[in-house]
Amino acid sequence: MEKEKKFVSLVVYLHNNEADVENFFKTTVSTVAEKFTQYELVCVDDACDDNTLFNVSSAVKKYNLEGMVNIVHMSYYQGLEASMNAGRDIAIGDFVFEFDTCAVDYEADVLSTIYEKLLEGYDVVSAVSDSKKPLSSRIFYRIYNSSLREKAGRVGSETLRIISRRAINRVKSMGTYIPYRKAVYANCGLKTCRVEYKTTESMKKSRKTSERFSLAFDSFIYFTDALEKLSKFLCGIFLLSTVAIAVYILSDVFLHHNTADGWLSIMGFLSVGFFGLFLLLTVVLKYLSSIINLIFKQKRYVVSDIEKITSKGNK
């Protein structure tokens, strides 16, 4: 079989995945080495404190890889998104494969499938497992997708993806900090596609719950108007309460209800106050959403050093 002439990069996130490294090299890296004449592997070490890096070095020698292998050492634990941004920025391939984990639950031919799909004219092709997603993920994506400012930017659970250099340049031009990669890819204006594959085994989830919550909250802020809608809803509730209490006060003036002294004035004050508060909050959120649409939050990752290794030893 004639190898593809394109230069591809593989960017993989590592955080204490010592048990998954061998299978990743056997299934994924070896497949890419057989299919492409030129490739590089960019391993992002997000503060690994087990044998993950040792296993990577051993696997490079074991499989006698001819491609470049770079290990990006993050200065401290910074989470998936910041670490993968660092790895993608260092990658130099015409196309970039992104692996959010080195745990493999797919067959090797999935890589060829999404690559060939990309050649059909897409700039971002994602591989999606056919396994049932956790309830929390399904709820999040349902709320997220229904709250999108642009309905074309719908996202879902993904295992890996391949991105063209044009897509990478496009998302970099959209902002210095990319808070949620797949949401930015989906909203970059280029053609995207999702390919479902049959799961071979349950994937091991390595992302921390606190990180998932923080990422979900950031995503709602950046890409949806969910908080703005919630503020408007609460504002409407308190407006109705204000109107209802105003009607009750007027009826009390004419009908003389037996109400406790001061009760109507206190409730009227609270209703008007909360209505004004949420009205102001709605205006502020609308203003902030306009700013966010213009520029992303300025935040960078911190890398300590980049290590190059070969099948013949470290350099």
Domain boundaries of the chain, sorted by first residue? 4-224+298-314, 226-294
- Phi (first) and psi of residue 130, to 5 degrees: -85, 0
Q: Which residue has the tokens 């031009």?
A: 173
Amino acid 172: pLDDT: 82
pLDDT digits (tens, 9 = 90+) for 202-236: 444 444 444 455 555 555 555 566 666 776 777 77
pLDDT band at 153 (very low <50, low <70, confident <90, very high): low
Residue 70 predicted with pLDDT over 90: yes
Contacts 24+ apart (CB under 8 A), 222-225: 222/179, 222/180, 222/183, 222/292, 222/296, 223/144, 223/148, 223/149, 223/153, 223/180, 223/183, 223/187, 224/144, 224/147, 224/148, 224/149, 225/147, 225/149, 225/289
> Which CATH number is 4-224+298-314's, of 3.40.630.10, 3.90.550.10, 1.25.40.20, 3.40.50.10190?
3.90.550.10
pLDDT-above-90 percentage for the chain = 41
